[in-house]
Amino acid sequence: MLRLGRREFGGHEPVIMAIVNRTPDSFYDQGATFSDAPALERVERAVAEGAAIIDIGGVKAGPGAEVDAAEEVRRTVGFVAEVRKLHPDVVISVDTWRHEVGEAVCEAGADLLNDAWGGVDPKLAEVAARYGAGLVCTHAGGAEPRTRPHRIAYEDVMADILRVTLGLAERAVELGVRRDGIMIDPGHDFEKNTRHSLEATRRLGEMAETGWPVLVSLSNKDFVGETLDRPVKERLIGTLATTAVSAWLGAQVYRVHEVAETRQVLDMVASIAGHRAPAVARRGLA
């Protein structure tokens, strides 16, 4: 059972986390939701299309202009409060590695801290514990935030993913973070080359077997683009294929840009697996 905010999700229930970037320079939408009005429209559409979690980020993952903690707070806190007011039942996540930002957004109503940089600020888990928030424990290969991998190598990439994410998850529990609010994330593209991310996907079942809910952030990432030799705006099909494989192997939470398309893929996989009945079943019955 996964419990986030007011929501509870069963073990076989796929969960969509919709990305809302509060940045002027995000790799995918180039700032389309930097302003409040389009960002709120994005939230409304994502919820209507089946997203249970809204993931709000104030700093893009890649290199770029410096964004200090005060600016990250300015970009996220007021928006979190507004989304909380408009959508009391939606799970609000904030993508941050900084404990100062985590504290501010939890005060504003955030339910989940998405630590994509693998515990680089160890105080972030303490914030999650203090506020009763959930926590995403990600493998980032020890990289500094907003850096790109360079000649990275692993003897066994999945062994390293398991070592790091399970260590972060158990530390979080020891600090007082609710066990049913913790997810582990293999960190596709984060301090990984394309072959590492493909192997991490192929071996996701090893993460699911640990019993921790697995979150995957696959949407339009570089490993998809390199695998198919496609630019950012032409990676949807590759993303959805990777999503289907991840669902079959046991991932539960999906951080995405395209909610409606992801919902159909997850529903189809769940029905094939026998966890979801078809929406209609008329064929051969009349």
| Six-digit token string for 191 | 């301090």
The answer to whether 141 and 152 have CB atoms below 8 angstroms apart is yes
pLDDT-derived band at 26, boundaries 50, 70, 90: confident
For residues 126-141, give the mean pLDDT. Answer: 98
d(CA 73, CA 83): 15
CATH topology of domain 2-273: TIM Barrel (3.20.20)
pLDDT at residue number 31 = 85
pTM: 0.97
pLDDT at residue number 196 = 98
- Identity of residue 239: T
For residues 35-59, give the mean pLDDT. Answer: 97
Residues 6+ apart with CB under 8 A from 285: none
pLDDT digits (tens, 9 = 90+) for 165-220: 999 999 999 999 999 999 999 999 999 999 999 999 999 999 999 999 999 999 99
d(CA 88, CA 14): 21
CA 3 → CA 37, 135, 249, 283, distances in Å?
30, 11, 21, 37
For residues 240-265, give the mean pLDDT. Answer: 98
For residues 51-67, give the mean pLDDT. Answer: 96
For residues 264-282, give the mean pLDDT. Answer: 97
pLDDT at residue number 25 = 86
pLDDT at residue number 30 = 81
